Amino acid sequence: MDKLNNQQLLQQLTDHFGEDITRHEEPYGLLTVHTNKERIIELLRFLKESVGFIYLTDITAVHYPEGENTFAIVYHVHNLVENIRVRIKVSIPVSDPKIPSATVVWAGANWMERETYDFFGVQFEGHPDLRRILNMDDMEVFPMRREYPLEDPNRVDKRDFYFGR
């Protein structure tokens, strides 16, 4: 049997999800499909159970403040037998950052989602234990959102005039 390639995979996905695969591209040979948050868990489950993408590589998010101010939630999954990876993106608005949790498909999604919540404030619905993981519990902001500065704003020893700004 031939190895599964990006075209066949995309065909399978569009056959099943039709309109819900809104967009796709192939940067550097890695198939990237865009879908929506209503069907993301179904899609991940389909990939895992029917196409053999048993390995969840990573979950993360990207903040795009320009235009509509959205988060892109990015899933990387890997089919270890056919040796093919696929990237799935879901775009959600920052004003209502909710998406179903992938912990029902992979137990390993737990901390990846907690990290994403910690950094961006994305609410993963159905997550068993959505708490901060890396930052302090009493932190009030979600530091990876692009409006927050890198440096601690409370520093007093770092005056702007030392840095010519």
Of the pair 125, 129, the CB lying nearest other proteins is at 129
Length of the chain measured in residues:
165
Q: Is 131 within 8 Å of 113 (Cβ atoms)? A: no
If 0-12 CB within 10 Å is exposed, 13-18 middle and 19+ buried, where does residue 151 land?
A: exposed
Candidate ranges 4-12, 13-21, 37-45, 144-152; the one touching other proteins (CB under 8 A):
144-152
Of the pair 16, 111, the CB lying nearest other proteins is at 111
Q: Is 58 within 8 Å of 75 (Cβ atoms)? A: yes
Q: Is 30 in the site for other proteins (CB under 8 A)?
A: yes
Q: Is 138 within 8 Å of 132 (Cβ atoms)? A: no
Residues 97-136 that bind other proteins (CB under 8 A): 106-112, 115, 119, 128-129, 132-136
CA distance 17 to 35: 9
Q: Is 61 within 8 Å of 74 (Cβ atoms)? A: yes
Of the pair 5, 38, the CB lying nearest other proteins is at 5
Binding mask 69-88 for other proteins (x = CB under 8 A): -----x-x---x--x-x-x-
- Expressed in angstroms, the distance from the first to the final Cα of the chain is 63
Of the pair 83, 95, the CB lying nearest other proteins is at 83
Q: What are phi and psi of 43, to 5 degrees?
A: -70, -45
Of the pair 10, 72, the CB lying nearest other proteins is at 72
Enumerate binding residues for other proteins (CB under 8 A).
27-28, 30, 32, 54-58, 60, 62-63, 74, 76, 80, 83, 85, 87, 106-112, 115, 119, 128-129, 132-136, 143-144, 146, 148-153, 155, 157
